[in-house]
Amino acid sequence: MTLPFELLRSGYPYYMTLGQRRVTSNPVDIGFGKENVYVLTRGGLGTEVRVINWEDENLGTLGGASLFQWPAALLVDEDENLYVTDEANHKVVVMDKDGELIDSWGEQGSESGQLNRPSGMCFDLEGNIVLSDAMNGRIQRFTRDGKPLQVFGESGEGEGQLNMPWGLTVDQFGDVLVADWKNDRIQRFGPDGEFKSAIGSHGTEKGQFRRPSSVAVDGHGDIYVSDWQNDRVQLFNKDERYIQSFHGNASLSRSGKQYILSNLVTLRLRAEGDFEKTQRLNAPMTVKVDDQFRLFITDFGNHRIQIYQKDVVELSETEIAPKMRNPILFTT
């Protein structure tokens, strides 16, 4: 796997919004089937998997309180089975696309293979499951049926140590990038669990985080971080240099538009209000990217999914001037 040498970043225009309150209420994660979109929700307005399609139609729910209590992450495999971490019951629950329970594994503890509040979860390059074992301050790798394969990391603040890790992802080289939540940084580990690098520190400036909850890497090696308490998503390039932030540009989803158009008072209230507020992110919990370079943000506090579409030109080494040692003011 090679990455483009450099990118001409044309822009990152807003693509579309999915969902609305009482449908995709309090979304914490998102997964994709062949035709449907699965939105994991958690909170007072519903704790379940909501199924919608790309036309933003509500197709019902799966799971719920009988299967999980504090769901934190969702994975969808090639057979469209759904894997959900349950922080309250220290388990991974597996159901098919009809919501039937087909497997459940994990037990509370701190021994290898045991879990204490499993949160973020992703597939590795072999299709195994890598997850954040949050209260044990470590990362564990399992087969899909729950056999432990690897454990790395420990609680702490030093390099390679973790404090309540949350979301994580595996990039195209097998590196594991972890949202080291309470340490306000992203840490990169090699496939064998060795510490490689860290991004960020506590704060509100560019490149700083307030409790990052999720991380994703796209096919260009660009790194996306949901900066949960700063209500934004930050983008870093493959060299871990800050590029830009996303604060939210939501338009109305199809279902949202239908709702408003059928309610005269709601129409009036929206006409009277401050429109800019309606676009911004509120506690974005998860960030994901697909192979079409679409960026999906679960806009938790606004009950919707915000989607952006990357627009870049991939450049080879010969298509761009070499890196400069010094900055120049002559920029013509």
Partner 1 sequence: MNTNELALKAHLLRRAGFGASRSELESISDKSYEEIVEDLVHPERFEEIDEDYLKRYNPELSYHDGHPIHAGRWIWRMINTKRPLEEKMALFWHHVFATAHYKGDHTPSTIGQIEMFRENGLTNIRQILIDLSKDPHMNYWLDNCENHSDQPNENWGRELLELFSMGVGNYSEDDVKQAARAFTGWTFEQPLPLYPYGHYESKFVFNESDHDNSEKTFLGRTGNFNGEDIIDIICEERATALFICRHLYNFFVEDEPQIPAWSIEPPRNPEAVDAMIDILMSNEGELRPVLNYMFNSDFFKNSFYKKVKNPSELVAGTLKLSGRYAVVPAEGENVGTLYNTAAVMGQALMNPPTVEGWHTGHEWIDGGTLNERVNFAVNQFNDVSSPGFEDILGRLGSAVKSVDLVDKCLDLIGPIEVGDETRQALSKYAEEVGDLELSTDEDRAENAKKIARMIQLIVATREYQFA
**CA atoms of 226 and 11, how far apart (whole Å):** 19
| H helix intervals, the chain | 254-261, 264-272
| The one segment of 96-104, 122-130, 193-201, 268-276 that binds partner 1 by CB under 8 A | 268-276
Instruction: Provide the residue count of the chain.
Output: 332
Of residues 242-261, those binding partner 1 (CB under 8 A) = 250, 252-253, 255-256, 259-260
Q: Is 232 in the site for partner 1 (CB under 8 A)?
A: no
**216, 169 in Cβ contact below 8 A?**
yes
**Count of residues binding partner 1 (CB under 8 A)?**
47
Cα pseudo-dihedral 163, 41, 300, 244, rounded to 10: 70
Q: For partner 1, which residue of 264, 265, 328, 329 counts as binding (CB under 8 A)?
A: 265
Of residues 10-69, those binding partner 1 (CB under 8 A) = 20-22, 26, 28, 42-45, 69
| The one segment of 98-106, 195-203, 301-309, 321-329 that binds partner 1 by CB under 8 A | 301-309
For tokens 């629950």, the residue is: 93
Give every strand in the sheet of 284-289, ordered side by side: 14-18, 304-309, 294-299, 284-289
Of residues 172-211, those binding partner 1 (CB under 8 A) = 181-182, 211
For partner 1, which is the closer residue by CB, 15 or 70?
A: 70
Residue type at position 245: S
What does DSSP assign to residue 278?
G
Which spans of this chain sit near partner 1 (rule: CB under 8 A)?
Answer: 20-22, 26, 28, 42-45, 69-70, 87-90, 117, 164, 166, 181-182, 211, 229, 250, 252-253, 255-256, 259-260, 263, 265-266, 269-270, 272-274, 277-278, 282-283, 285, 300-304
